[in-house]
A = this chain, B = another copy of it.
Amino acid sequence: MSEGDPTRAEREIEQLGQRAKAAARWLALAPSGQKDEALRAAAEALVRSTDVVLEANAADVTSARERSLRESLIDRLALSPERIRAMAQALVDITTLRDPVGVVRAGRRLPNGLDLQQVTVPIGVIGMIYESRPNVTVDAIGLCLKSGNAVILRSGSDAIRSCTALVDALRPAIESTGLPADVAQIVRSTDRASATALMRCNRYLDLLVPRGGAGLIQTVVEQSTVPVIETGVGNCHTFVDASADVDMAVRIAVNAKTQRPGVCNAMETLLVHSAIAEAFLPRVVREMTLRQCEVRGCGRTRAIAGEAVLPATEEDWATEYLDLILAVRVVDSLDEAIDHITQYGTRHSEAIVTEDFGNAERFLRSVDAAAVYVNASTRFTDGGEFGMGAEVGISTQKLHARGPFGIDELVSTKFVVRGQGQVRG
Name A residues whose Cβ lies closer than 8 Å to a Cβ of B. Answer: 25, 28-29, 108, 110, 114, 116, 118, 121, 123-124, 202, 206-207, 221-222, 225, 227-229, 245, 248, 251-252, 254-256, 259, 342, 360, 364-366, 368-377, 379-381, 385-387, 397-400, 402-404, 412-424
Contacts and interface: CB of A to CB of B under 8 A. Distances in A.
B424 A402 contact: no
Contacts of A400: 399-400
Contact of A371 (B374, B375, B386, B414): B414
B108 A423 contact: no
A28 B365 CA distance: 9
Nearest to A119: B364
Contact of A421 (B245, B403, B413): B245
B373 A423 contact: no
A240 to B, nearest CB: 13
B417 A372 contact: yes
A214 to B, nearest CB: 14
A415 B397 contact: no
A202 B227 contact: no
B424 A255 contact: yes
14 contacts: A25-B342, A25-B366, A121-B368, A206-B398, A207-B398, A227-B399, A360-B418, A364-B418, A371-B416, A372-B414, A376-B423, A380-B424, A399-B400, A404-B415
A368 B29 contact: no
Contacts of A114: 376, 380
Given A207-B398, A254-B423, A402-B415, 10 more contacts: A25-B366, A29-B366, A110-B386, A116-B387, A123-B399, A206-B399, A221-B225, A227-B228, A376-B419, A377-B423
